[in-house]
Every structure is written in C-alpha cells, then in structure tokens.
Chain A
Amino acid sequence: MLVYRPILTVALLALAVTGLGCGGTGASAPNAEVTSAIASDQVVTAVVGHPNLPVAARLLRSGQFLDAEIVLRAILREAPDCARAKFLLGVAVLKQKRYAQARPLLDESLASRQEFADRVQVDHFLGWSCYYLGDLDAAKRAFQSHVGHVPSAADSYFGLGVIAIDEDRIADAQQALERSLELLPGTPEGARDRSKSLARLGDCALRLDKVEDALALYEEASQLWSDHYEVWGKLARVYELKERPADAEAAREKQQAALKRTGRVPEDAVP
C-alpha cells in the first residue's frame, strides 16, 4: 500500500536535506537534516518493504549512521530489492563520507522504479554523492532533477550554486544561491543554511573582485551562525586583503573556537 505524504511533508523534506554534507561546510549538524528527511511518521512504505525500516530510519535520525548501516544491510539481505532500504543505506554511508558506496545505492534505489515515500529526495543525496566524487555533471543533473520535483529544495539550489562556483560560472552561482536564500526561512532554524549560502555568495563576490561585498556577506554569514568555522576563515582572508591584521587574527581565533565548539577534529589518523 502506498502512503502519500502531504505537501507540507514534502516541503519539510526539501528543507530537511539542506546542508547534508554540502559544499565543504563540515560544521553542519547532520542529524537534524536526516531527522527531517526521513520524517517522523513511523510508517515507512515501499513496494518492497521491511518491518525494520523504521528502526533504521530512527537510527539515521539520531545520527547513528554506522548502526543504521548495519540494520539496513541486514534488511537488504532479507529484502534485496527494497529500494527504500537502498536509499536509506545510501544516506547512511554518505553521512560516513563513503560517497563511492553511496552513489550506486542511490542510483539503484532510483532505478528500481519503486514508489516509496521519500523517493523524491533521492536525487538530492545523489547530487552530493556525485559532487564529492568529483563528478560535477552528474551532480548537476541530480540537483536539477531534484529542484524540478521539489521546487522548494533550498539545499539543492545551494548545491547547484556550489557547482557553478567550481565551474567558474559566477552569475549562475549567484542566481542559484540567491534562490536558496529565498527558499530558506528567516528564522533561527534557517540561520545555519542561510549562513552557508551567504558565505558562498561572498566567494562569488570575491571572485568578481568585489571585496567590500564579500566582506559584508561573510560578516552577515558569521553573525547568523557563529559555529560556521569556514566563514571565519574566509573573513580572516578578506580582513588581510583589507590590511586589517588585528581583525584577521580575531577571525582566525574565532575559527579555531568554532572548530573546537563543533568538535571538528582532523580526519587523518591519530595514533
């Protein structure tokens, strides 16, 4: 039996995916997005279903990605054709930065043609997987597909903006990032994602040698989300360009503090 989500849920989903592993903004708190992306209703329906799918979804919601992966792999052993399990497993491994594993899972969940509740969101996660594998064309296609189905998908517009920056299409980047800002709520809940989009708009301004504009955008971004350690780094850079070394040093200190607050640790191996 198919259960269709109400429009509101779709909108929530679109917002939910915001920031999932996007654009190097590693200071994101992924749990929140997954929570929304998977939605809180316990009923998870798919053409091929499994009673443990809600358990996996709950684990994803709580940020227990490895545990979710274990459960989902067990589900797929019993129901290898379950497209939603593949989708959720794709999300679980994506959140563990194993993009090369995530991509085929997401591809398969789409290729299954099975109708499942959050199928419409697959393209979003596929977009980020492809992006982090360096396949910008595929990422672009996925994000475009997503915003085609979910026009309110702010984070997919953000993704398109990030890709456009990487391709040095600055006007396109600005357009996509502005669109993401329009779609994001001006509430505290939207502050983090607005900060990310503003920071990227600052990058665009810097690319166009509009240093004052970049400074204003970065400062606004830092005020919206003080844990956004990348924007502190960008701000320090602009302060240096403006020959304001004391402000640059202060920004770097705030960057370090944000890194500490968010528990960001270097990824490479520490014995």
Chain B
Amino acid sequence: MMSATLASARAMVLLVSPGVAGDPPPIRFEDVTASSGIDFTSTSGVDPSTQIVEVKGGGVALIDSDQDGDFDLFFPNGATLAGPNCGPGARLYENLGSMKFRDATAASGLDHHAWSFGSAVGDVDSDGFDDLYVACLGPDRFYRGLGDGRFVDATEQAGFGRDRDFSTSAALADFDGDGDLDLYVTNYLEFDPLHPVPVAHFRGIGVIGGPRGLVPQPDRLHRNDGGLFTDVSEVSGIRTATASFGLNALAADFTGDGRVDLFVGNDSMPNFLLENMGGLKFREIGQRAGCAATIDGASQASMGLALGDVNADRRPDVLVTVFSDDTNTLFASGKPGFFDDASSRYGVGVPSRSFCGWAAAFADLDHDADEDLFVVNGHVYPEATAERMNSEYRQPKLLMRRDGARFVTVADESQPWLSQPRRDRSAVFADLDHDGDIDAVVTGLNESVQVLANRHDAIDDWVEVSLDDLKTAGNRRGVGARIELTCDGRVQTRWVHGGGPFQSNQSSVAHFGIGAPAAEVDPPISITVTWPDGETTTETATRGRAMRIRRLPAAINSGG
C-alpha cells in the first residue's frame, strides 16, 4: 500500500489525459515481464539487507551477443556473505524479438558466480564482437565475445583479474584517441566479507553501516592496446582525485574539446569531472566546473547518472540521482567548461525528495521531440518508513515528462507498473523490439527483473541512428560520438557514451522522437554525426526508420 507521503506526492502530479486534442501523446508502458520469458530474481546477500555490500543490487547490460542486430540482456548477479564467489550466477537472455527472451546462459559459457554489480560492453579486441567486463567484489572478470552467443573467460589474458576492489560500475571509451576502447572502473570501498561492518545509527535507528566511516577505494583506469589492458591509474592522473566512494561513471566530451572526459558519481562525496588533457592524462575539475556538488556546495550520495541535452545547447547535461530527503540534481552545461545546478529551473529536484534514486535516463518516451526522464527508486535501509525517514523501503518509479521548459511528474493509474513499490536499482533503456520506441528493463534488490514495453502508438514519429565506424575498427559503435538530428529548424542532440544509468550501460543506438509532421510537406530530416575524432558525416533520415551511418577508412562520406 502506498504511504501517505508518497500518496500526497503523487496527488500533486500531472494526471495524464490521453486523447485530448493538442496534448502530447501519453507515455505508456506495459509490464510484459510475465510473457517476456525473463523469470529472474537477483540475489544480493540476505533479505533484508544487513551489510552495505548487499544494498547495491545487481546491474543489467545491453549486449548483442549473437550478432543478430538486437540487444540481448546480461544480468550480473550477487551472492551472499557466506559465499561471495559462489552466488547463483549471472544470466544471459537472448532477445527473440517482440519482447520475448530466452535464457541462454547455459550455452553462453558465462559461468560467472562472483558477487557482481555493473558491467561494460564493447568490442575491445576489435574482432567485431561485443565483449563483456563485469565489476565484482574482488577480482573483476572479462569475457571475450565470440559473436555467436558464446563467451570465453579471458580475464587474465586481457590483463585483468589482479584487483581486489569492490567495483561497482565500468565505462568503456576511447580515452587516448587511438581507436580502441579503454576502461574506467569505479570502486566503492574497502569491504571484507569476513569482517562485516557494525550497525550504525541513522535518526536514532540502527541501520546498515557506511559508507561514511569506511575506507573509500580509488577508481581504476585501464589502457587498451589491441585487447591487452594496462592499469594506468597512477600515471594518468586520475588518482590525484581524492579516493571516493565511486558508484557510477559516464564517459563523454563534457568540456567541449573533442576528448572524452569522465563524470564520476560518488556516494556521499563530491563528484569528479575528470578532464581529459590528452595523452591519457586527466585532471579533476569537478569543483571548478560546478558539478562536484549542489548549488549550496553540498556533496550528495550520487548513484544514478543520466546524460541528455536538457537545455538544448548541444552540450551534455547530467542528472544525478541521490539519497532520500535530498533532491536529484541536474547539472546543466552553462558557460563553456562550467555546469549550473539547474534542478529548480527544470523542476527535476523537488519531486524526487521522498525517493532514494538509482538508475536514470533521459529518453524521448512520447516522441514529442524532447527527452523525458525515467528514474528507478528504492531505499537502502529495510527500516525505512515514511514515518521514520520520510521515505519507504519499497518505492515507485519517478517518470517525468518534459512539458515545455520543465519536467512534470507523470501519474497514470491505468499503468500499475508506475506506482508499484519496488526496490529498484539498475535499468537499461533501448528499443528492444525494434518498434521505434524506447523500452526499459529494470532490476531490483532481491527483486524480479521487470520488463516494460513502450506502447507508443505512432509508427513514423521517430528516427534511430546507429554508427559503424570502420575507420577505427576498435570503436565501431562510435563511443564518444555526438549525433544531431535537425528537423524543421530544430536540433536534437544525443551522445554515444560510455557508462550508463547505474551499474548498466547505454544503448549505442541514438533514438529521436520527432512528433507528427506539422505540415503537409514533411520537412527533411538530417543527421549529423561528429565522430570521436571530430570528423563529421551528414546524412538524410527517413521518418519511422532506423538507419546505420557507416564511416569508411577513406572517410568518403565526410562532410556536413
């Protein structure tokens, strides 16, 4: 039953009234979990949780494991303190189309039972197939994709497996501009399963201890040389940043200099903005840039990260989801090289106050040519109630529709999935059934996976763009590229970036809603890709079509 707090919060939100002339189309998802073929409940220690390692939950990753052109789903899985390396195991689900999936774990070779959190997907060895990096409690694992749904454990061969970190998320991107994907791994804190953390107190209640008072672990950066990785954490300069409780990272060009930087979300400590100085050297500029903390200079418990272009200036903005009794923060790009805390301006802060937010994404869910916001929530303390902490343990999702200059919370009683309280943690957002809209897959803490199919009705009010960069064979999907759609004088911008919503990854397919044609003569739609090396390609798009833009080594289609 929904608490009074949440009920009152929902009472003030927008009620969707579908079908009203002039209104934007409603955002409508259907929970298709039961028919999806995915029947998977993640494991994360005991339930209810007793230790900080148990509250992050497992992640989810989009991966085309069998080269059939759609996204399959990989779920890292947790374990228990009694057997942190002997969990029930990760799962791989093959996408069969039409929101149907099949458990393909057994034949995949992914015999992975270590306590795991996030993962990163990319073709790191330039063989054309997706590979998989899994962030674990203890040594991370790397699985080389064979392109036919099978993987081989290549952890040691790729130069991994020596760490003993509590790794949470990972982001692949070409940080040194050499054409292959390097790897950034966020690490959380020192945790020894044999020596659990004592109970702490929060507002007079005994709760799970940490992260404060525990020892943060510094993150890691690995340089890729043809599929062999070298830990360059020290020499790269990322360690000049204070070791923090890292939970998430996004890799994109945040400073506008053409190089891929890193936005790192830290728990209870300032966020990092690691500026790429070239030559695989970084410097931490989060404080200076204004994205380390809120407008009040307050550090937050940053968890989820969403990248979008909220202020339509063609530069990336970042939404950070945070703990309850605090508000999600939107760091909008302002003066070049600087971010503004624009949470109030766009209305994304206050509605999140009673939630403990995790994965988040900007996506045009109703195809009205602007990006909406989807956030999954759930508290970390099993003791949480509205009466004790103004926040329930199980929480509904926060769905916000872009309505002019601001975001407005969507409530729709005809969509039970929206108000269903859960302990959500991670999510991926992608067009899983090739019908032109963005679907969602959500994981929770000791919860069943939830599969949400976007039921947007229109068939020609979207464009999808994927990249195939043959000029740099090690980054064919163009991580670091900017994709701009221009239609009727309006420009929408997307980025193919590393990292993801939370312990998950971003779809490499850029999705644009473009609305119904406003005139009898449909305005032309052009797509301009700014590749990671700065070269541009411009092509014409067609409504209701997915297109692939390929760059050849000779750059025969450069222009724009």
Where the two chains meet, the residues of A that have a C-beta atom closer than 8 Å to any C-beta of B are 24, 66, 96-101, 103-104, 132-138, 165-168, 203, 206-207, 229-230, 232-234, 236-237, 240-241, 245, 248, 252, 255, 266-271
Contact = CB atoms under 8 A, between A and B. Distances in A.
Contact of A269 (B11, B210, B338, B387): B210
B545 interface: no
Nearest to A233: B297
B95 interface: no
A135 B12 contact: yes
Contacts of B207: 269
Contacts of A207: 344-345
Contacts of A24: 296, 298
B390 interface: yes
B197 interface: yes
A260 to B, nearest CB: 14
Contact of B268 (A132, A241, A268): A268
A76 B68 CA distance: 68
Contacts of B26: none
Contact of A271 (B197, B345, B389): B197
B209 A135 contact: no
5 contacts: A132-B353, A138-B8, A232-B297, A269-B202, A270-B212
Given A133-B390, A203-B295, A267-B202, A240 B9 contact: no
B288 A240 contact: yes
Interface string B9-32: 101100000000000000000000
A233 B347 CA distance: 22
Secondary structure type dominating chain A contacts = helix
Among B199, B297, B390: residue with most chain A CB under 10 A:
B297
Interface in B42-93: none
B4 interface: yes
Given A100-B4, A134-B354, A270 B344 contact: no
A121 B99 CA distance: 56
B150 interface: no
Interface string B326-339: 00000000010010
A134 B202 CA distance: 21
Interface of B: 3-5, 8-9, 11-12, 197-204, 207-214, 268, 287-290, 293-298, 301, 323, 325, 335, 338, 340, 344-347, 349-354, 386-390, 405-406
Given A133-B354, A167-B347, A248-B288, A271 B213 contact: yes
B211 A230 contact: no
Given A97-B390, A168-B405, A240-B287, A269 B212 contact: yes
Contacts of A136: 12, 350
A132 B290 contact: no
Contacts of A267: 202-203, 325
A98 B203 contact: yes
Contacts of B289: 240
Contacts of B199: 271
B353 A101 contact: no
B408 to A, nearest CB: 12
Nearest to B199: A271
A133 B298 contact: no
A266 B323 CA distance: 12
B161 to A, nearest CB: 30
A101 B3 CA distance: 11
A271 B198 contact: yes
A166 B344 contact: yes
Given A236-B287, A252-B287, A270-B209, A230 B353 contact: no
Given A267-B202, A270-B200, A230 B297 contact: yes
- 10 shortest interchain CB distances as A-B pairs: A233-B297, A269-B200, A271-B209, A134-B353, A270-B213, A230-B296, A100-B386, A100-B5, A271-B200, A271-B198
Contacts of B340: 206
B345 A168 contact: yes
Nearest to A249: B287
A269 B201 contact: yes
A100 B387 contact: yes
Contacts of A206: 295, 340
Given A229-B297, A236-B297, A134 B9 contact: yes
Contacts of A232: 297
Contacts of B204: 66, 96
Given A136-B12, A206-B340, 8 more contacts: A96-B203, A97-B203, A98-B390, A133-B390, A168-B344, A207-B344, A268-B211, A271-B209
A57 B268 CA distance: 36
A177 B136 CA distance: 50
A233 B203 contact: no
B8 A237 contact: no
Contacts of A135: 8-9, 11-12
A234 B295 contact: yes
A248 B286 CA distance: 13
Contacts of A271: 197-200, 209-210, 213-214
Contact of B350 (A134, A138, A234, A270): A134
A82 to B, nearest CB: 21
A101 B293 CA distance: 29
B287 to A, nearest CB: 7
A77 to B, nearest CB: 18
Contacts of B209: 269-271
A140 to B, nearest CB: 11
Nearest to A267: B202
A99 B295 contact: no
B131 to A, nearest CB: 36
Contacts of B5: 100, 133
A163 B335 CA distance: 26
Given A24-B296, A230-B298, A237-B295, A97 B344 contact: no
Contacts of B203: 96-98, 267
Contacts of A269: 200-202, 207-210, 212-213
Given A133-B5, A269-B200, A237 B347 contact: no
